[in-house]
Amino acid sequence: MQFTAKDIAALLGGTLEGNPDQVVTGIAKIEEANSYSLSFIANPKYEQYAQTAEAGILLINQVLPVSNEKIGAMIRVADPYAAFTTLLELYQKLISQKQEKGIQQPSHIGNGSTHGSDLFLGAFAYIGENVTIGRNVKIYPGSYIGDEVSIGDDTLIHAGAKIYEGCKIGKGCVIHAGVVIGGDGFGFAPLADGSYKKVPQLGIVEIGNDVEIGANTVIDRATIGATIVKNGVKLDNLIHIAHNVEIGENTVIAAQTGISGSTRIGRQAMIGGQVGIIGHIRIADGVRINAQSGVSKSIEVKNKAVTGSPAAEFRDHYKGLAYIKLIPELMKRIDELEKQLNKDPHI
């Protein structure tokens, strides 16, 4: 596919500098771009490449000075990263228009199940009974959709994903390979003899609209009611969300995070990788949790930033670390004082 600089500038509402007929045929990182590549600079760390890189079209901000004859055309926009994301979305749509539609065989669709137009169902996929599937849904090979599941329009389910019975998936979602939605929550009642009795998990999982769930992430069904992931949430790979958790709109969570049962996370929270969150607590809107933090109590203050284990406000955490660094010197001083006392007990 080919695009010209003037077409891209018109799409983005940007200011064009250079050759309006410059053609690009692909997308590349700025340090790897060539004369037929579209690239962008959003992070100041990469601004140096603007003076040396070769690119067909370069998206940049409105103030960065550039004098580089190797760049065919530049498009200045207010936010290069957002503009680049817009182009990637368009590119993805153009690619998806060429993807297969229809139902491959062998596959299975159970009694009472319905689907909208332009369904793609890959080979060896299984659709249970009384499933409702919207328009333009793509379900890739080897996926399992249990009985009475509902899937909204324009949702993409990659190969090998599993959605258990009764769960609800919204519109425009992306569910990557290996995801399991609706497996049993970890509920066991201890008995007097030291054994454990399984607590039936009778609830479901409800996924909102425009949610993306990374590969091999697991979201457990509720014991009663629903585990809820609201609109716009973005989940990385290898995350575990336990039963009856609720995650607010537009929250983002990085890989290897584990969230214990019945915890409620607010809107637009940002949670780093390998964070552990205990159950039955609340995390306010806009809270930022640094990677590898351990959250052991509720965070009630909106937009608060925490780090460490147990998690504490950034300033308090790093103040504590500064004191820890002083311990060897303090111990040395104590040893010296003890030696002086032992020599002269009258000091």
Indicate if 243 belongs to the active site: yes
The answer to whether the bond into 141 is cis (omega within 30° of 0) is no
H/E element, 331: helix 314-343
Q: How far apart are the first and last CA of the chain?
A: 86
- Torsions phi, psi of 298, nearest 5? -60, 150
The per-residue pLDDT for 342 is 81
Per-residue pLDDT tens digits for 162-194: 999 999 999 999 999 999 999 999 999 999 999
The per-residue pLDDT for 46 is 87
Residue from 298, 291, 285 nearest 271 by CA: 291
Choose the catalytic residue: 243, 280, 317, 346.
243
The per-residue pLDDT for 152 is 98
Beta carbons of 8 and 55 less than 8 angstroms apart: no
Could you tell me the mean pLDDT of each successive run of 10 residues in the chain, 347 residues long? 88 92 90 90 87 90 88 92 88 67 94 96 97 97 98 97 98 98 96 96 98 98 97 98 98 98 98 97 97 95 92 76 81 84 71
- Report the alpha-carbon distance of residue 117 to residue 113 in Å, rounded: 14
Single pTM value for the model: 0.80
- Which tokens in the block code for residue 269? 């929270």
Beta carbons of 57 and 34 less than 8 angstroms apart: no
Q: Is 258 helix (H, G, I), strand (E, B) or coil?
A: strand
Per-residue pLDDT tens digits for 247-266: 999 999 999 999 999 999 99
Kindly give the interhelix angle for 5-12 and 80-96, rounded to the nearest 10 degrees: 110
Per-residue pLDDT tens digits for 260-299: 999 999 999 999 999 999 999 999 999 999 999 999 999 9
